[in-house]
Amino acid sequence: MHIHILGICGTFMGGIAQIARQMGFKVTGSDANVYPPMSTQLEACGIEIIQGYDPSQLDPVPDLIVVGNAMKRGNPCVEYMLNNRLKYVSGPEWLEDYVLRSKKVLGVAGTHGKTTTATMLAWVLECAGRNPSFLIGGVPECFDVSARITDSEYFVIEADEYDCAFFDKRSKFVHYHPWVQILNNLEYDHADIFSSVEDIERQFHHLVRTIPSEGWVISSAGDEHLDRALAMGCWSRLEYEDGKDGRYRAELKKDDGSVFDVVADGKKVATVSWSGIGRHNVHNALMVMAAAEKIGISPEESAKALSSFVMPKRRMQLVGTSSGVDVYDDFAHHPTAIKTTVAGLRAKVGKGRIIAVLEPRSNTMKLGVHRTLIGKSLEDADLAFVYAPDSITWDASVIAKTSSVPVTVEEDFDRLLNDIAAASRRGDSILVMSNGGFNGIHKKLLERLGSECKH
């Protein structure tokens, strides 16, 4: 069977492609921007990738077209596909029909931490000998690929609330039918497709409706939006974790979260000593340990696996050091994620200076929905820089006005580099936060710091 994937270089659609290829399908695909790391992963699998959307790529006609959610009406391939009545499905629907119905799915949903937590869960299962299949919306360091299919009964998936395709506006995760579902957190995001947090709560409710009565919902204790989603109805076994009402809790042995005791039902059951930092990652680990327990993996086994866990790329990743200045990369793109990321680095470096650098690049950020919250989210830093090019249509100076730390807003990228380098001195940590490539700022900063850093 030949499947052709429109929008193949996104992490989710690229994962679909890798799984289909491993299952023996002939797989081809196209994208407007063919770029690493997904393009190199796909080429290594023997998958032909076409640049652009000329309809000639659909001749001869594939058996099935899998349509990514970046595809819109007016796209040449989409219009050709519809006019010629070719057979097509969304990525989540393909995964549902061809893969997940024969698996016990462990899903990870939430506004923040999906990639990290899903990778963590897959790693725990791997170390426990479960050999899981998985599809992760990022680049895990623990595995060679972001998606794989095995003969295991278990499939770990990053359960995204974003929509499926131009013809299916439901959240992706309603196609996954999980056996164990982590609900990590819920806040307002994706303002381009959701008009309110209540809309997202309704989608989480739809997810919960698909979970078997003998399955499990692992929810964060004290999250009001998750509580409201669950109050609409829950027919599965439900367990709360973390917080005063959680079955699993953590007692930090180091302030940065790198060592903590795990307490379950009031008793210490394990100690985790790992490379993870930040209270948010301790929370993620507790959710993973609770989920893993539901398929027979003990807390002790999970703790041992977490001791060798490596964070996915772009999750507080130390990119390099130049002239005594550490440059970190993080995917944070929502005020809550920004705040917890900066706080995590603060716990790690203590009184060392932190320079936060933010690109408000996500659709929600570009719309300015959270503009009044960004300034406060940067307050664990010592100073901050915000890149606000023409694509930012709102007045980014509000960030500086609402923050207690000095914030420089810069429209020109080269001036931004100069300003950061001029402000840096030996012993500083520069934390770059963006959900995009940010013009290759990390490498350019390291080069600039080599000659311009203050000593």
Of the three residues 253, 271, 306, the one that is the final residue of a domain is 306
Q: Which residue, 295, 241, 307, 240, is CA-closest to 270?
A: 307
Task: Measure Cα distances from 5 to 23, 159, 244 in Å.
Answer: 15, 20, 46
Note whether 194 and 272 are same-domain residues. yes
User: Cα-atom radius of gyration of the chain, to the nearest Å?
Assistant: 22
Note whether 8 and 120 are same-domain residues. no
Say what the pLDDT of residue 453 is: 53
Note whether 128 and 14 are same-domain residues. no
CA gap 225, 190 in Å, rounded:
15
CA gap 92, 207 in Å, rounded:
13
Quick check: 153 and 324 in contact, CB under 8 A?
no
Say what the pLDDT of residue 13 is: 93
- Within a domain: 116: yes
Note whether 214 and 360 are same-domain residues. no
Of the three residues 91, 123, 144, the one that is the final residue of a domain is 91
**For the chain, how many structural domains are there in total?**
3
Note whether 370 and 444 are same-domain residues. yes
- Within a domain: 419: yes
Note whether 39 and 136 are same-domain residues. no
| Number of neighbours of residue 422 by Cβ within 10 angstroms | 12
- Within a domain: 25: yes
Q: What is the CATH number of the domain that holds 82?
A: 3.40.50.720
Note whether 182 and 108 are same-domain residues. yes
Of the three residues 306, 339, 374, the one that is the final residue of a domain is 306
Domain, as residue range, for 39: 2-91
Say what the pLDDT of residue 51 is: 93
- Within a domain: 290: yes
Note whether 41 and 128 are same-domain residues. no
Note whether 69 and 178 are same-domain residues. no
Note whether 147 and 295 are same-domain residues. yes
Say what the pLDDT of residue 376 is: 82
Give pLDDT < 70 ranges for the chain. 35-37, 312-314, 332-333, 362-370, 394, 451-455
- Within a domain: 282: yes
CA gap 162, 152 in Å, rounded:
27
How close are the terminal C-alpha atoms of the chain, in Å? 62
Note whether 333 and 356 are same-domain residues. yes
Q: What is the CATH number of the domain that holds 147?
A: 3.40.1190.10
Note whether 150 and 282 are same-domain residues. yes
- Within a domain: 311: no
- Within a domain: 312: no
Say what the pLDDT of residue 178 is: 97
Say what the pLDDT of residue 404 is: 78
Say what the pLDDT of residue 422 is: 86
Say what the pLDDT of residue 240 is: 94
